[in-house]
Amino acid sequence: MEHLKPSPANSSPLTPLGFLERAATVYGDCPSIIYSATSYTWSQTHRRCLQLASSLSSLGIKPRQVVSVIAPNIPAMYELHFAVPMAGAILNTINTRLDARSISVLLHHSESKLLFVDYFSKSLVLEAISLLPRSVKPPILVLITDDELSAPLNATVAVDFIDTYEDLLGKGDPGFKWIRPNSEWDPIVLNYTSGTTSSPKGVVHCHRGSFIITVDSLIDWSVPKQPVFLWTLPMFHANGWSYTWGMAVVGGTNICLRKFDSPTIYSLIRGHKVTHMCGAPVVLNMLANYLAENKTTLESPVNILTAGAPPPAPVLSRTESLGFIVSHGYGLTETGGVVVSCAWKPQWNLLPATEKARLKARQGVRTIGMTEVDVVDPESGVSVKRDGSSQGEILLRGGCLMLGYLKDPDGTSKCLTENGWFYTGDMGVMHTDGYLEIKDRSKDVIISGGENLSSVEVETVLYTNPMINEAAVVARPDEFWGETACAFVSLKNGDNNEKAATEKEIIAYCRARLPHYMVPKTVVVKEELPKTSTGKIKKYVLREMAKAMGSSRISRL
C-alpha cells in the first residue's frame, strides 16, 4: 500500500466554519437565532456572516490578525464566531466582567486590530483605550447597538466608533468567498484564561482543535438534531464550550439573552420549550432556588451541562428533582471545552438520590476526543493508585489541546511537554472504577460563578494596601457561587483593633482596584499567618479554615 498517500481530495483542513455552510443547506429555513423580537434562519445567519467577513476584509483586516469583541450573549456575539475567522482573522472574545485596566492590558497584549463593542460597554471600552500606551495604535471600534435597549448612534460616540455593527454588515458582499485556513493548525481563536493585569495568558486554539472539540462535545452530551439551546453560558467562556459552532452542526435554535436572572431564564425555557443549556454550578443553584421558592417545576425536562467548581451533591439532587437532567464535566480554556465527563451508567439509577448525586459530582472519564487522561504524582511522575484517595496532578493528552500561550514560550513549555501531555495544575484522585475527581487546585485558581479568579492577583492588590503586612487568598465554599475569594491578612504594627471596620476597609480597597467578581467576599484578620519553617504561608491550613467557615453569606451581595 506504499503508493496510497494523502491527496488534495482528502487533506482539506478541518475547520468548524464549514458547519455553517452545511447548516444553511440542511436547515436553511429553520430558526438559527432568537433574541427578543429578532429572529433569523440558518440561511440568513450564513448570509450575514459572509457579509460581515467581507466587510472586515474591506476594512483591511488581514489573516492572522486579532479581532476582539466585548458583548453579552446577543446575536452579534454568535455571528462573530463564524464571521471573524471567515475573514481569516483570529477571534478574541473578552470577558464582559473585566474592568477597564484589564481590558486595556488584553488589547495591548493581543495587538487587536478591531474591537466590536456592545452599546452598554462603550464607556468602559473607551476608558480602556485611553489607558493604552501612547506608542500603541488603538483598535478600530465598531459599536453593536440594540434596537430595543439603546439610543441611536450619536455624534459624540460616532467620533470614536467608525460604524455600527448592522451598518458595517450591510456593506458586505453576501457572495464573499470566505478565507479557508491554509492549514488546520492555523489559529482560529484567542481566549484569555483570566483578566490578569500582570501577565495575561492568551490561549490560542487552531481550526483542527476547535473542529474536534465541537464534534466531541455534541457526541458526549448526546445532543440531538435541532435542539433549542438557551445561552446561559457566556460565549466568551471558551467560545461557549464550543457550542457556538456546535449548534450549526445540529441545526439548533440559539436562544440569546442579555441578562442572567432566574425569572428571565425560566420565562425563556417555558416560552421557547428549551431543551439544552450550559452553565456553572451557580446557574443550577440559582434556578433550583427560584423554582423551589415559586413552588413550580419544569413543564418538560431540560438538559443542563455544568462544569467549573465541583457542584455540591445537594445542589445536583435538588436541581434534578425539579425537572433538569444534569450532566457534569471538566475542561479548561486550554482544552476548548469539556473533555472529561461523568459518563452515566444505567445501574446507577437504582441508587438512592444522595448516592447518585455524589457519583454525578465526580468529573468522570475522558471524552472520545481525548486520547488519554491520567493523574500522576507531582514528584515521581508515576500514575497514582486508583483508590479514590491518592492525590496527583491531572494530565491530558488529545487533539483539542491549545497550540500554546500567546507570546509565552516558557509558560507553554512548562505545561505542554515534549512527551505530549498537558499538565493542568489541577489536583485530583482516580477512583477504583476509573472515574476522575478533582480535589484541589495547585495553581490556586478560585472558580467563582464559573469565572477563573487568580488568588495571586488578588494577593498582589492586597499587598499594596499600606495597612497589610501579610496576605493569602484561598477559596471559601459558597452555596450560590460555588467558591468565593477569602482573604487572610495580618496587619502592620499589630493593628488588629476595630476588626469589623478594618475588614470593610480592605474589601472597599480591593473593590476600587479589582473587577467586582475578584473582590474577596470574606476577610479574616489574624495576628500572624501560619508558615512553614522556610517562611512560606501554609495555604493548605488556610483552606481548611475557610472550609470550616461554611458557605459565605454575603456572597450574594
- pLDDT at residue 314 greater than cutoff 80: no
pLDDT at 6 over 50: yes
Quote the CA–CA distance of 374 and 363 in Å, as a whole number: 13
**pLDDT for residue 482:** 83
Concatenate the DSSP letters of all residues of 222-288 into one string: T--SS-EEE--S-TTSHHHHTHHHHHHHHT-EEE-BS---HHHHHHHHHHHT--EEEE-HHHHHHHH
Q: Average pLDDT for residues 190-208, to the nearest whole number?
A: 80
Q: How far separated are the first and last CA of the chain, in Å rounded?
A: 67
pLDDT of residue 49: 98
When mean pLDDT is compared across 144-148, 182-186, 347-351, 429-433, the lowest value belongs to: 144-148
Q: For residue 554, what pLDDT is reported? A: 43
347-361 average pLDDT score: 88
pLDDT at residue 525, rounded to an integer:
92
Task: Provide the pLDDT confidence category of residue 230 given band limits of 50, 70 and 90.
Answer: very high
The confidence score (pLDDT) of residue 497 equals 44
Q: Are 364 and 340 in contact (CB under 8 A)?
A: yes
Does residue 542 carry a pLDDT above 60?
A: yes
pLDDT score, position 310: 64
pLDDT at position 198 over 70: no
Residues above pLDDT 70, as percent of the chain: 89
Average pLDDT over residues 231-235: 94
In this predicted model, what pLDDT tens digit does every residue of 408-460 receive, in sequence order? 999 999 999 888 899 998 888 999 999 998 876 665 668 787 776 777 778 87
Cα–Cα distance, 551 to 553 (Å, whole number): 6
Q: Which residues contact 343 (CB under 8 A, 6 or more apart)?
A: 364, 365
Average of per-residue pLDDT across 182-196: 86
Q: How many residues does the chain have?
A: 557
Instruction: Please answer whether residues 8 and 203 qualify as being in contact, where contact means their C-beta atoms are separated by less than 8 angstroms.
Output: no
Burial class (CB in 10 A: 0-12, 13-18, 19+), 295: exposed
CA 394 to chain CA centroid, Å, is: 19
In this prediction, residue 157 carries a pLDDT of 53
pLDDT at 495: 46
CA dihedral 518, 520, 521, 524 (to 10 degrees): 170
Query: By the 8 A CB rule, do 235 and 81 touch?
Result: yes
Tell me which of 252-261, 322-331, 339-348, 441-450 is least confident: 441-450
Rounded Cα distance between 149 and 144, Å, is 11
**How does residue 242 score in pLDDT terms, banded at 50, 70 and 90?**
very high
Q: Is 134 helix (H, G, I), strand (E, B) or coil?
A: coil
Residue 184 scores a pLDDT above 60: yes
Domains annotated on the chain, with CATH: 43-206 (3.40.50.12780), 259-441 (3.40.50.12780), 446-549 (3.30.300.30)
Q: Between 555 and 327, where is the model more confident? A: 327
Of 114-123, 418-427, 460-469, the range with the highest mean pLDDT is 114-123
Dist. CA 277–CA 257, nearest whole Å? 12
Query: What cell does 23 get?
Result: 447548516
Determine contact, residues 333/191, Cβ cutoff 8 Å. yes
pLDDT of 387 > 50? The answer is: yes
CA-atom Rg of the chain in angstroms? 24
> What type of residue is 357?
A
What pLDDT does residue 434 have?
95
The predicted-structure confidence for 21-40, as pLDDT tens digits, reads as follows 999 999 999 999 999 999 99
Handedness of CA 258, 260, 261, 264 (dihedral sign): positive
Which three-class secondary structure state does DSSP give residue 24?
Answer: helix
Rounded (10°) CA dihedral 105, 198, 446, 461 = -110
107 band by pLDDT with thresholds 50, 70 and 90: very high
Rounded to whole angstroms, the maximal C-alpha distance in the chain is 82
At 499-514, the pLDDT tens digits run 545 888 999 999 998 8
Average pLDDT on 211-224 reads: 98
User: Would you give the distance in Å from CA 505 to the centre of its chain?
Assistant: 31
Q: Are 40 and 75 in contact (CB under 8 A)?
A: yes
pLDDT the model gives residue 148: 53
Residue that has been written with the C-alpha cell 492525590 in this structure: 391
- Count of CB atoms situated within 10 Å of the CB of 189: 25
CA angle 139–145–146, rounded 5-degree value? 150
Q: State mean pLDDT over 116-143.
A: 96
- Which pTM does this prediction carry? 0.84
10 Å CB burial of residue 494 (0-12, 13-18, 19+) is exposed
Among the residue ranges 99-103, 335-339, 406-410, 500-504, the one predicted with the least confidence is 500-504
Strand bridging mode 302-306 / 276-279: parallel
For 248-299, the pLDDT digits (tens) are 999 999 999 998 888 999 999 999 999 999 988 778 878 888 888 888 889 8
CA 130 to chain CA centroid, nearest Å: 27
The residue type of 336 is G
Confidence (pLDDT) at 194: 60
